[in-house]
Amino acid sequence: MNYLIEMQKRILPELVSVVEKRYHILYTIYYNQPIGRRMLSSITGMTERVIRDEVNILKEQDLVSISAEGMRVTKDGEAVLESLRGFIHDLKGLPELEELLQQKLGVKNIVIVPGDVDKNHLLLNEMGKRAAGILADMLHDDLIIAVAGGSAVAAMSDVLLIDREYKNLTVVPARGGLGREVEFQANTITATLSKKLNANYRFLHIPDDISADTLKVLLNEQGIKEVIEFVKKADILIYGIGRADIMASRRHLNNEIKRFLQDSGAVAETMGYYFNINGEIVYTAGTISLNIDEMLKVPHKLAISGGTSKGEAILASCRVIPPENLVIDEGAAQKIIELINSP
């Protein structure tokens, strides 16, 4: 850990909690502006009295402004917010935790965002921002980018900013649609990314939770076959990692299969595959996506997932499909370490 930060922590042990609290308030205002004090209190879980006192301090420093509409982060506040990201990351010892997990999971690059998305859903925006930075660094001409659905991948596509143009980019969905939340489906994310990258794109206009017999028929359709060929040639695969029980419900799997997954110890779902904690495949859903061997061959894989509740899922998925880049939060990271160290 940075020597100066370590000294600050020893002299001012309350430093971590104070900085974290004000950082939490700042980015909550930023992602919800304009916002009132009562709503800010509800989202952060802090009392209105604490919010009033802290906001007054931030206002005195010209980091937030207050109007009849609500509170907003000022330009100075945005600059401070950006600087605090790195400071808090180091303050909480996350660089050392990232290095430890990289060794334990065999993942080349792991980025840990401070906090726990289970307790603060706004952290998805922070995770998306870090994932977007990783994707931006991977971009060059002549690429095929395959994207799966999910809220974490959607957050990445929403905040992606590119300051140059690339030639011959193609974005394709890595799987069909799932559930009723259109904004989190692979086709929607494909549309968002292709627009921001000024790239070519293809869609898969089919649901992801279909029977095996229907799947066989659809795979013979020329349009679908062409998209699948693009997916199989992907240079970059971007996907989320889900809990087995939650994904089984979203896929409308019947109760018999759900019981089988529970009895088999399934904890993770990635691209239609269900894994136990050891990374062993226990069930495969009928889905239009890459198989395990094809996923392993994709040159660059970026996985995004967070929350203490997903610790088991992330560990299981990484044991069988280790991505090149993994963006998680502190809650998931601590849970993974706990699982690895448990007898």
Domain ranges of the chain: 3-91, 94-341
Record the tokens describing residue 15, joined without a space. Answer: 């430093």
Query: What distance, in Å, lies between the first and last C-alpha atoms of the chain?
Result: 28
Within this chain, domains 3-91 and 94-341 share the same CATH topology: no
223, pLDDT greater than 80: no
Q: What is the pLDDT of residues 126-141, one digit of tens each?
A: 999 999 999 999 999 9
Contact 211, 252 (CB under 8 A): no
Q: How far apart are CA 307 and CA 21, in angstroms?
A: 19
Spatial CA neighbour of 170 closest among 147, 138, 154: 147
What CATH number matches the domain at 3-91, 3.30.70.1140, 3.40.50.11540, 3.40.50.10490, 1.10.10.10?
1.10.10.10
Q: What angle do the packed helices 3-11 and 15-32 form, to 10 degrees? A: 110
Contact 246, 158 (CB under 8 A): no
User: What was the pLDDT predicted at 299?
Assistant: 95
Query: Which H or E run contains 281?
Result: strand 281-284
8 Å CB contact between 330 and 95: no
Lowest mean per-residue pLDDT among 144-148, 152-156, 207-211 = 207-211
Q: Are strands 273-276 and 236-240 parallel, antiparallel or unpaired?
A: unpaired
Mean pLDDT across 42-70: 93
**Is 236's pLDDT higher than 70?**
yes
Q: What pLDDT was estimated at residue 89?
A: 87
How is domain 94-341 classified at the architecture level of CATH? 3-Layer(aba) Sandwich (3.40)
Cα–Cα distance between 329 and 88 in angstroms, integer? 13
Residues 132, 230 contacting (CB under 8 angstroms): no
The residues that bridge with 268 in the sheet, in sequence order, are 243, 275
